[in-house]
Amino acid sequence: MSKQAMLDTFKAHVDAELAGDLDTTMATMTGDPHLHNIPSMVGGVGPDGVRSFYKNYLVGKFFPPDVTMTGVSTTVGDTQIVDELVISFTHTTPIDWMLPNVAPTGKRVEVAFVVVVGFEEGKISHEHIYWDQATVLAQIGLLDPEGLPVVGAESARKVLNPMLPARAM
């Protein structure tokens, strides 16, 4: 599979997720995919598990309406894509895949994400999605970062602008 074909398939996948199109989302995936949101340990395994997870928690329910996604870098290898981005939103709706059992707080969140997307036979075989849950919890008021090696939106802002000062030690 060409690198451009992988990028096109991943774009179609994300576009379908955001549009709420479950069938198109699943059509971009292999017959035995898996999805793992690392910090929250939610996702799905196999076509039924992934479809159920997407249907109940993600596709069409991805983020609140004011979400913005800012690409930072995309690395395309022979069998996978690694996509780094910053996602910003106001926590006005449940985001069960990211914050299971956490009611909307109305707080603004900015967080860096890394998505590792594997490919087999021209389709997505898996997604492993990473983010710093501590920085999210600090921003929505569920974790007091005082005295801890935890920051808030500054972390995502530094990803977007490496010239910002580092945290004082």
* Other CB atoms within 10 Å distance of the CB of residue 142: 14
pTM, two decimals, is 0.92
Number of domains the chain contains: 1
Please enumerate in sequence order all residues whose Cβ is within 8 A of that of 80, keeping only pairs 6 or more positions apart, or say none: 6, 116, 117, 118, 119
pLDDT single digits (tens) 19-59: 899 999 999 999 999 999 999 999 999 999 999 999 999 88
Section 143-155 average pLDDT: 93
Q: Is residue 165 part of a domain?
A: no
pLDDT at 35: 97
CATH of the domain at 78: 3.10.450.50
Which domain, by its residues, includes 123? 3-160
Please enumerate in sequence order all residues whose Cβ is within 8 A of that of 149, keeping only pairs 6 or more positions apart, or say none: none
Q: Is residue 112 part of a domain?
A: yes
- Residue 119's pLDDT band (cuts 50, 70, 90): very high
Q: Is residue 77 part of a domain?
A: yes
Q: Is residue 93 part of a domain?
A: yes
Q: Is residue 169 part of a domain?
A: no
Q: Is residue 168 part of a domain?
A: no
> Above 90 in pLDDT, residue 74?
yes
pLDDT at 64: 87
Q: Is residue 166 part of a domain?
A: no
> Above 90 in pLDDT, residue 62?
no
Q: Is residue 70 part of a domain?
A: yes
Q: What percent of the chain has pLDDT over 90?
A: 89
pLDDT at 18: 87
> Above 80 in pLDDT, residue 92?
yes
Q: What are phi and psi for residue 115, nearest 5 degrees?
A: -120, 120
